Amino acid sequence: MVVIECPYCDEDIELNDEVYGMFECPFCGDDFEWNRESAQTKGLFGPWDFWIGLICPFLPSGLGILFSLVFFYGWDSVIGVFLSFLIWPLVALGFAIFGFIKKVDSWLFGAIISLVLSILSMFLLLSF
């Protein structure tokens, strides 16, 4: 027996080891496809999940930094850049938690790298 997770309702479904093809979820009634080869080739890195977890947490911070540098002057600009840097680790932590809960390893890995980069850049910012 193999236990898989329904791609629609996230409930655990037990299937025999030798079966593959189209199945109907007993919980939600949606059809899904299962074959052992695709489950075995699923690695740590998805095609886009890693990049989403890595880049998306930086986007709100990057936009905040750009906005602060373009529209503010003096101490207002410095405070805006600092507050924008604080957004990055918070969003990266949220992405990491989401990747952990949904069991998307590549999303989680990208978010953890983004979190580490945000902390390193915060130390770099504070050192100047």
Q: What's the mean pLDDT in 5-14?
A: 85
Domain range list for the chain? 2-41, 49-127
Q: What's the mean pLDDT in 79-92?
A: 89
pTM: 0.60
- Who has greater pLDDT, 88 or 22? 88
Which residues lie below 8 Å from residue 52, measured CB to CB, with a gap of 6+?
Answer: 95, 107, 110
Q: Tell me the pLDDT of the chain averaged across its residues.
A: 83
> Can you give the pLDDT at residue 41?
45
Cβ–Cβ < 8 Å for 96, 115: yes
Residue type, 80: G
| Residues 10-67 pLDDT 10s | 888 888 777 778 888 888 888 878 775 544 444 555 678 888 888 999 999 989 989 9
- Residues of the chain with pLDDT > 90, as a percent, come to 23
Say how far apart CA 40 and CA 20 lie, in whole Å.
Answer: 13
- The CA-based angle 81-84-109, given to 5 degrees, is 130
Q: Rounded to 10 degrees, what is the CA torsion of 81, 54, 91, 39? A: 180
Tokens of residue 108, six digits: 């989680």
